Amino acid sequence: MNKKILLALILVISFGLGGYFLMMPKKVDQLGPTFGAANAEIINEIDTSVIREMTLGINDAPIKVVEYASFTCPHCRSFHDNVFKKLKTNYIDTNKISFTYREIYFDRFGLWASIIARCGAQNKFFAISDLLYKKQSEWTKGSPADIADSLRRVGVVSGLAQDDVEACFKDGQKAQSLVAWSEKNSKKDEITSTPSFIINGKKYANLSYLEFKQILDSE
């Protein structure tokens, strides 16, 4: 994540997401000065232990796959529309791989979508994520207030209570932890684009199903 985005996310979230919706700039060049090494200190001070890994498949699967993705990324939407479902049927549901989804925040709207996806019980995450990708071209349109309202509707349509959605949006500490968690993960695995994949410790860029199949079958 660009350091400007990171620090702006952390600073504004500390005032609560109501202010965050109104104040957080959309573009990197609107975010003001960078703060250099101070970002690392801020990140290290934030507790990320409350953030759960979102994983499908059995824990002792012989192949571990981690996807890094953003809910606002068109290539990620394409992957989930065209590749992920085949992976789930042929590899996850057959206990050949475990699949972990980790969010990357290139913009404020990706964070908001992540907050909605993680708002319900853990077993609802992938269903809500699927709906976010299906409706990506709809909820990413309009003003920040429009997008926030669209994401609220996605949450309610997914079965979340309206009060729970509002509570999740107001949980600035959780949002701050998500940003720090994402930054730590992306730095550790040197993620610069989405979707990216870590397959048994090796990093790959955007993959087609056939490319994925070749890699998995060779492990």
Q: Domain ranges in the chain?
A: 3-218
| pLDDT for residue 82 | 93
Q: How confident is the model at residue 119 (pLDDT cuts 50, 70, 90)?
A: very high
Mean pLDDT of 64-87: 96
How many angstroms from the chain centroid is the CA of residue 103?
2
Q: What are phi and psi of 172, to 5 degrees?
A: -65, -35
Across the beta sheet with 196-199, the strand order is 54-56, 97-103, 63-69, 196-199, 202-204
Cα distance from N-terminal residue to C-terminal residue, the chain: 31
Query: CA 153 to CA 177: how far, in whole Å?
Result: 24
Query: CA 18 to CA 130: how far, in whole Å?
Result: 26
Query: CA 16 to CA 183: how far, in whole Å?
Result: 20
Q: 3-218: which CATH topology?
A: Glutaredoxin (3.40.30)
Q: Which two tokens stand for residue 99?
A: 């699949």
String of b and e for 32-58 (b: at least 16 CB within 10 Å)? eeeeeeebeebbeebebeebeebbbbe
- Considering the entire predicted model, what is its pTM? 0.84
| pLDDT for residue 145 | 86
| pLDDT for residue 120 | 85
